[in-house]
Structure 1
Amino acid sequence: MGNKASENSAALAARFYTDPRVAELETTHVFASSWQLVGHESDLPRPGARIIAPIAGREVLVVRTEDGGLAAHLNVCRHRGSRLVAAPEPEGKAIRCPYHGWTYKLDGSLVGAPESRTIPCLDKPKLGLFPVRVESFLGLLFANLDPNAVPLHEQVPGLADLIGRYLGSDLEPVGRYRIQDTATEAQDANWKVVVDNYLEGYHVPVAHPGLMRLLDYQRYTATIEKSYVYFEVPIRDKPSSNWLERLYQRFASPMPGLRPDDHRMWRYVVIYPNTLIDLYPDHIIAWSVTPLGVARSGLPGAFYAKPGTSWRTRLAQRLNIKIGWITNDEDAELVARVQKGIATPGWSPGPLSQREAAVGWFADRIRADLAAPPAPMEAAPTLEKAPQGEAR
């Protein structure tokens, strides 16, 4: 199983999944101070391109600046609070408020206001957009409301070496989904129930017959680090009795840039608190789990592949995605059952198996965050106080 959580680690009590007061605390103690997946470099192909994403009750606007870097701001005008950008939004050399026309450069600085001579005390340098931290990690875009947050790449040491060959700014989207599409998929469970389910393979023999036919469950491993968990499970050599899975086993082949040992291996990663990355030989999925209420979660995400992927790999990709949707439907039913069950008065969690060590890790992180003082919630009042990230 790799590294394990503390022997005293236990699953979260029911109230963590059912109490609206806990959900409110998570907004400030978890989501407002953590790196949240908001997109991919391919979403911002040129200067002036922009995307928006919700984070901790706010909406973040991420743009490609004129020099090819990245900048992020709260999506609100400093004048009268209008929402600046709505999706989809055309590219442009500036950000112009649709209400009164206040105009900002891509870096967030205020450059113009109609009839500015009639506005007393108009101090443009002090009225730039509220900045937000932004970082590109292996081509994936992350934003953080906490101006003092440790950079993501420093929080996940060693992860780039493990998965870097799968990712990168050159990935190409597969299909119509985008990470910013919050309505892509939803499940009837608290967001932590969904993450818990993803963090363990203990339920696979009972709940996922297809995965048991396809994958070598006995070689399913999890390596737990401070801020992420890395999973591996090989594809079986024995042909599945299911025709779809058998076809996938036959055609599974790696994308350009992968190693021979990636040919028959499924990998995935959970970055605390809610970023999930599936790493298959034929494609990757980057997604997150976001609260839509105490008992409902959104699963925005997107599929990607390396450029130059062969027809054989593209065929395997189609088969794999179909298998994935079957598994997703099974998981949606599972987490809905859990959410219903944990609301039973008097219920408390039982002991965790070794295969659920990552569930204990996650529970420990949640308990620690909710017990700690929240990170600063106010955005910095000037551009200089919150450094912007650069494309890597």
Structure 2
Amino acid sequence: MATQVADAPMTDPLEGWSLPAWTYSDTEFFEAEKERVFAPSWQIVCHESDIPSPGDWHTLDYIGESVMVVRGTDRVLRAFTNVCRHRGSRIVDGASGCARKLVCPYHAWTYDLDGRLAGVPDSASYPVFDKAGLGLSSIQIEVWRGFVFVRLVDDGGPTVAQMMTPYEHMVAPYSFHDLKALGRVTMRPREVNWKNIGDNYSDGLHIPVAHPGLTRLFGRSYGVEAEANVDRMWGDLMDAPSPNWSERMYQRLLPPVPHLPPERQRHWLYFKLWPNVAFDIYPDQVDFMQWLPVSPTASVIREISYVLDDDRREMKAARYLNWRINREVNAEDTALITRVQAGMASRSFSIGPLSDKEVCLRHFCRRLRQIIPAARSEHSPAPGWSRTA
């Protein structure tokens, strides 16, 4: 397994050790993560192709907020909190929809698609107020290669494009702008802390131990590396036919992809963007996966596949086989992270040593300790630490 890591200052006194187990179940640490990690981080909502027409909207709910991305009559995409400025009611329900106006179901305050307050029933009964100042609350939005991201707080951190700068040349051939959804967003609850999902995603050491299918497909070609804001994982399909039917048929039926260079025809590529958004990039499709925190010991995985137009029977078969292969991988990963979450509850475990090959996990631990210094403590500090640390 190949491993690489970007240069980074070695300032963490616990460098080479995992985050302490208490940070995977502690309520105060979880609340600090919501404010310091998730509020200023970019979160993926959808693809531009999911909201092609004026009035189309898509929502994302996380850390107690509901965000909606709306395409205006001017075709511009905007992001707002899904909250009426009158009494705080949610305005739209569900994951997606289309509307000519955004109308609050409580008192029918009405907003234009650009967020401006357009109508207030019985407006004469209200004291004079600045109508222009009571539009929907906007939040920052970025469209990167067709994928729509939002963030609740702008802390001056890098854009998605800046985060992905080291890898733009790798992503460019896959025509992200032209992708279209294959199916719908799937929400998969998991009774684990969100970090356990991310730790597992970027962990290359467990592949030959716990994923026999991926090992049959990749052999020793699986590699990992860590950049400042992105982890990369990769593997190349072996020519030797797998004894597993789904894997063998995928190897056999995956057709040539005209827009990809020769070295990408049998290449699987993974990116994890800080802190919790991943792209699984295959010759046949592109998936995004996002693990959202629900509580200190619960998360939900949000995922969907996107594809380019391709009516070839071999391509349709390859996409189905890809799903079969990764369904098994997901089941294996679910069992792994569940075991880890349960083991972390033991009084016998606090921190563990990290291999020099666990470059992504080392980088993640270092960064989280910089953001929340309490994670440098092997055991949980006294309650109230987050008010001063």
TM-score normalised over the length of structure 2: 0.89
Counterpart AA for 1:36: Q
Cα shift readout 1:61-83 (whole Å, capped 9, x = no counterpart): 11011222210111010011111
| Pairing of 1:261-340 with structure 2 (within 5 A) | 261-308=263-310, 310-340=312-342
> What percentage of residue pairs aligned between the two structures are identical?
37
2:180 corresponds to which of 167, 172, 192: 172
2:4 is paired with a residue of what secondary structure?
coil
1:107 is paired with a residue of what secondary structure?
coil
CA contact (8 A) 2:59 2:96 kept: no
Match of 1:62 in 2: 69
In structure 1, how many angstroms separate the alpha carbons of the residues matched to 2:263 and 2:207? 24
CA contact (8 A) 1:139 1:167 kept: no
In structure 1, how many angstroms separate the alpha carbons of the residues matched to 2:118 and 2:98? 18
Report the CA distance between 1:125 and its aligned residue. 1.0
In structure 2, how many angstroms separate the alpha carbons of the residues matched to 1:254 and 1:336? 38
Match of 1:382 in 2: none
Counterpart AA for 1:288: Q
In structure 1, how many angstroms separate the alpha carbons of the residues matched to 2:322 and 2:97? 34
CA contact (8 A) 2:197 2:291 kept: yes
Structure with greater proportional strand content: 2
In structure 2, how many angstroms separate the alpha carbons of the residues matched to 1:354 and 1:310? 44
In structure 1, how many angstroms separate the alpha carbons of the residues matched to 2:256 and 2:49? 21
Cα shift readout 1:178-231 (whole Å, capped 9, x = no counterpart): 2xx5xx212221110110001012011111111111112x22222321100122
CA contact (8 A) 1:38 1:141 kept: yes
1:241 is paired with a residue of what secondary structure?
coil
**Stretches (4+) displaced over 4 A:** 4-7
In structure 1, how many angstroms separate the alpha carbons of the residues matched to 2:324 and 2:177? 26
Are the structure 2 counterparts of residues 254 and 14 from structure 1 closer, same or farther at C-alpha, using a change threshold of 3 Å? farther
Report the CA distance between 1:133 and its aligned residue. 0.7
Match of 2:246 in 1: 244
Counterpart AA for 2:117: L
Match of 2:131 in 1: 124
Are the structure 2 counterparts of residues 270 and 167 from structure 1 closer, same or farther at C-alpha, using a change threshold of 3 Å? farther
Match of 1:100 in 2: 107
Are the structure 2 counterparts of residues 256 and 188 from structure 1 closer, same or farther at C-alpha, using a change threshold of 3 Å? farther
Match of 2:360 in 1: 358
Gapped regions of structure 2 (runs ≥ 5): 375-389
In structure 1, how many angstroms separate the alpha carbons of the residues matched to 2:167 and 2:355? 25
Q: Which moved more, 1:27-36 or 1:246-255?
A: 246-255
| Pairing of 1:249-260 with structure 2 (within 5 A) | 249-260=251-262
TM-score normalised over the length of structure 1: 0.89
Are the structure 2 counterparts of residues 308 and 321 from structure 1 closer, same or farther at C-alpha, using a change threshold of 3 Å? same
1:165 is paired with a residue of what secondary structure?
helix
Report the CA distance between 1:355 and its aligned residue. 2.8
* CA RMSD, 1 decimal: 1.8
Match of 1:205 in 2: 208
In structure 1, how many angstroms separate the alpha carbons of the residues matched to 2:33 and 2:281? 28
Report the CA distance between 1:90 and its aligned residue. 4.0
In structure 1, how many angstroms separate the alpha carbons of the residues matched to 2:286 and 2:138? 30
